[in-house]
Every structure is written in C-alpha cells, then in structure tokens.
C-alpha cells in the first residue's frame, strides 16, 4: 500500500499494545485483499472495506490506539483500491447485497413483507451464482 505506510506499520520501537492495534488494521487490510468469491470470503472482504472506508468511531478508535491517523490509513487504502491493488468482483458485491437482504428477512415479522423479501433473496441468490468474476470499480 506504500513504502512509508508499511514502514510506519511495522516500526519495532513502539509498545506492544500499539503493535497489537496496528495488527488489527493490518488484518482488515488483508481481509480486504481476499480474492476468493465464496460467500464467507466475500462478506469478510466487503465488511473490512466498509470498516476502513465508512469513518466509523470504531475505526477511528483503533487507529488512535495504533497511533496512526485514520485519514492517512483510509487515504492509503483508497489509493490501493484506485491502483487495483485491492479489487472487487461482481460476485463480491452481489454476495453483500444478498446477505443484507437475507439478514433483513430474518428480522421482518410482517407476513407480506417477508413474502416479498423471500422472493428478493431467492432472486439475488440466483444472480450470485450466475455472476462471473468480472472486476468492478467500487
């Protein structure tokens, strides 16, 4: 993701606790680099991407404990995405859409809404299995 960023991540003269928090960030970046398109891998990849890019308090806190600027981490990550070092396929995105609707289906109590969502989920599942591994821009 960049020489300076990588060097900063692995500095040896930092406290172990800081190293641990940097490992959390590194793990998220590694998850976002997953290329497998099975359901579990795709969801893990998209979840890591969203965690880094959504500017959540959790991400900011982890960066703080890692003694890294969250804006710098996010910018370096997005540069890697822009340079196609981190890529997403059509199937990754379709798994994410499928899962969002599936999770919603599990919580809906209204009978008609459940019926509608069930059809949406079935349709999305078919789309997942019909999709190819074409690279798309996110």
Q: What's the pTM value of the predicted model, to 2 decimals?
A: 0.87
Cα 35 from Cα 132, distance rounded (Å): 13
Contacts 24+ apart (CB under 8 A), 43-48: 43/95, 43/96, 43/99, 45/88, 45/92, 46/88, 46/92, 46/93, 46/95, 46/96
135 strand-pairing partners: 89
- Mean per-residue pLDDT, 69-89: 96
CB count within 10 Å of CB 30 equals 11
pLDDT at 13: 87
6 versus 93: the higher-pLDDT residue is 93
């Amino acid at each position: 993701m960049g020489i300076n960023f990588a060097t900063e991540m692995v500095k040896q003269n930092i406290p172990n606790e800081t190293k641990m928090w940097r490992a959390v960030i590194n793990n998220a970046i590694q998850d976002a680099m997953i290329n497998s398109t099975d359901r579990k891998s795709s969801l893990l990849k998209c979840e890591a991407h969203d965690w880094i890019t959504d500017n959540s308090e959790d991400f900011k806190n982890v960066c703080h404990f890692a003694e890294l600027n969250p804006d710098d981490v996010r910018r370096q990550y997005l540069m890697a995405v822009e340079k196609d070092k981190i890529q997403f396929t059509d199937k990754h995105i379709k798994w994410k859409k499928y899962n969002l609707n599936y999770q919603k289906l599990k919580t809906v109590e209204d009978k008609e809404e459940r019926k509608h969502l069930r059809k949406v989920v079935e349709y999305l599942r078919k789309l997942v299995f019909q999709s190819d591994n074409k690279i798309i821009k996110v």
